[in-house]
Copies of this chain bind each other. A is one copy, B any other.
Amino acid sequence: MPSSPDYQSIADRLHSAAIHLLRRLRRQDAAMDLSPARASALSVLVFGGPVTIGQLAAAEQVSTPTITRLVVGMERDGLLKRRGDERDGRVVWLEATARGAKILKEGRRRRVAALAAELKTLPPEELDLLSRAADLLQRLTRPGGP
């Protein structure tokens, strides 16, 4: 263990590992009936509760016109529904439909299953290492922090 930890090197390897991990899991999405943009937006709705157009745009780091169009298509396809705010007539609330939530979770399940299968090749102590690293990263990247 280095006396002065090499943040740069760790960051670089974490970054690279995350990229390769997701690239590998993305192959599972071919079987899924959701485009990447829709899947990502839907996950915000399913796991983050109802949000407004603006909040979804911020979460997805895209512009509001992009979200508006995405939402129009997704509503047409029964993946989410819109609801006006009672106090503020400008605001539109978005919520996943049961069908949308189901489709999203099915896609996630496929990805997670693929990763879980690879994890089975690892010895218990390495699994434990990954488990703790995952929790640590969650804390690190969640707003609010530890």
From known contacts A61-B23, A120-B7, A133-B133, infer whether A138 and B17 are also in contact, taking CB-CB under 8 Å: yes
Q: Mark A87-107, 1 if CB is under 8 A from B, else 0.
A: 000000000000000000000
From known contacts A10-B116, A21-B18, infer whether A129 and B138 are also in contact, taking CB-CB under 8 Å: no
Interface of A: prevailing SS: helix
Determine how many copies of this chain the complex contains. Answer: 2
Flag the segment in A24-32, A49-57, A67-75, A78-86 that touches B: A24-32
A35 in contact (CB, < 8 A): no
Number of interface residues of A (CB under 8 A): 55
Closest CB pairs A-B (n = 5) = A133-B133, A13-B134, A17-B137, A11-B115, A11-B116
9 contacts between A and B (CB under 8 A): A1-B124, A5-B124, A10-B119, A11-B112, A12-B108, A17-B141, A23-B141, A121-B140, A129-B129
